[in-house]
């Protein structure tokens, strides 16, 4: 059992805070959590990059049409079955976790955990899982894997799941960001929410300097985490210009954030805010 120690470490996820979540929830703590999830995303991409694209894992005809998985790829089958199993063990009791296939989930067999309920109930169900799924498989995966096949379909799918879960956690965390921003300035957000004015809400919640910093930091993380580590000082794994070779191209990670992660997080924020006064 977790002890009832007040959370002094603002980088821990909200669901691990034990004191009044309304007091500890701040824009700073929420941003700290987003910084921590960056590490998970970069490491997950590095792990997936060990395998080539392995397109058979995404071919919906590869498994044939056997009962129970007809028309599903190995990757989809893997994600669905894992979610059913993890739901049984309580993963989705945590409001920070959003499944990709909510319709299929089993009822938890574990006792409920008293997660802090900080989201506004009518807005908590905001969900962009389908967009994350499509973006990951159609756009992102081909950008950081080589177009070949080594037969490791299940290992690749398992690595995909880790990427997807980290991306989903990060992007759906926009609900928490929006809740904090609303609580900090209800007088600014309320008229735009009542007018259902998406553009104004988007402007209010956007901080371009923060976004620029996030982009630069994730690029740097991809460089730092994605280098070969050797005991001698010289790095043998370099390109012809003497630059270290990275496991995942750092500019792909920056691109992932600027083109998909941050825009989707902001869509989540806007959609959450639109329901915030229901």
Ligand X SMILES: C=C(O[C@@H]1C=C(C(=O)O)C=C[C@H]1O)C(=O)O
266 near ligand X, judged by CB under 6 A:
yes
85 near ligand X, judged by CB under 6 A:
no
| x/- letters, 168..187, toward ligand X (CB under 6 A) | ---------x----------
Residue 135 CB, nearest approach to ligand X (Å): 14
Residue closer to ligand X (CB basis): 149 or 188: 188
Q: Which of 63, 101, 211, 225 binds ligand X (CB under 6 A)?
A: 211
Please give the Cα distance from 112 to 177 (Å, whole number): 25
Residue 119 CB, nearest approach to ligand X (Å): 15
148 with 52: CB under 8 angstroms?
yes
* Radius of gyration of the chain, Cα coordinates, nearest whole angstrom: 20
Q: Which of 31, 175, 221, 255 binds ligand X (CB under 6 A)?
A: 31
Please give the Cα distance from 129 to 149 (Å, whole number): 27
Stretch that binds ligand X, among 76-84, 86-94, 113-121, 260-268 (CB under 6 A): 260-268
Nearest residue to 103 via CA among 127, 120, 75, 131: 127
136 with 163: CB under 8 angstroms?
yes
Please give the Cα distance from 175 to 56 (Å, whole number): 35
Nearest residue to 252 via CA among 146, 142, 134, 144: 144
Please give the Cα distance from 75 to 59 (Å, whole number): 9
Mention every residue, 6+ apart, whose C-beta is less than 8 A from residue 115: 15, 93, 94, 95
**HEC-encoded secondary structure of 8-25:** CCCCCCHHHCCCCHHHHC
The SS3 call for residue 244 is strand
Stretch that binds ligand X, among 2-10, 58-66, 81-89, 210-218 (CB under 6 A): 210-218
HSE toward the beta carbon, residue 186, CA cutoff 13 A: 3
131 near ligand X, judged by CB under 6 A:
no
268 near ligand X, judged by CB under 6 A:
no
Stretch that binds ligand X, among 101-109, 116-124, 182-190, 207-215 (CB under 6 A): 207-215
113 near ligand X, judged by CB under 6 A:
no
Number of residues near ligand X (by CB under 6 A): 12
265 near ligand X, judged by CB under 6 A:
yes
205 near ligand X, judged by CB under 6 A:
yes
Q: Which of 61, 206, 237, 238 binds ligand X (CB under 6 A)?
A: 206
Residue 6 CB, nearest approach to ligand X (Å): 24
Residues that bind ligand X (CB under 6 A): 31, 34, 177, 205-207, 210-211, 214, 262, 265-266
């Amino acid at each position: 059992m977790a002890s009832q120690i007040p959370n002094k470490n603002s980088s821990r996820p909200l669901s691990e805070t034990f004191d009044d979540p309304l007091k500890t929830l701040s824009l700073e703590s929420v941003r700290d959590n987003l910084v921590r999830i960056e590490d998970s995303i970069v490491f997950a991409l590095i792990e997936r990059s060990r395998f080539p694209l392995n397109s058979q894992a995404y071919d919906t005809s590869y498994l044939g049409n056997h009962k129970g998985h007809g028309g599903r790829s190995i990757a989809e089958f893997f994600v669905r079955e894992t979610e059913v199993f993890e739901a049984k063990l309580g993963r989705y009791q945590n409001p920070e976790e959003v499944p990709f296939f909510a319709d299929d989930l089993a009822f938890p067999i574990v006792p409920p955990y008293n997660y802090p309920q900080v989201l506004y109930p009518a807005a908590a169900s905001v969900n962009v899982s389908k967009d994350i799924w499509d973006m990951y498989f159609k756009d992102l995966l081909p950008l950081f894997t080589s177009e070949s096949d080594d037969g490791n379909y299940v290992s690749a799918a398992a690595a995909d799941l880790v990427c997807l879960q980290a991306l989903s956690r990060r992007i759906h965390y926009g609900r928490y960001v929006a809740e904090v921003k609303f609580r900090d300035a209800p007088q600014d957000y309320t008229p735009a929410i009542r007018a259902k004015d998406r553009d104004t809400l988007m402007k209010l919640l956007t901080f371009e300097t923060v976004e620029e910093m996030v982009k630069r930091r994730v690029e740097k993380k991809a460089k730092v985490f994605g280098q070969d580590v050797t005991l001698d000082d010289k790095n043998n794994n370099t390109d012809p210009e003497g630059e270290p070779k990275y496991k995942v191209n750092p500019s792909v990670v920056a691109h992932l954030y600027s083109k998909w992660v941050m825009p989707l997080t902001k869509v989540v924020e806007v959609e959450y805010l639109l329901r915030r006064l229901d």
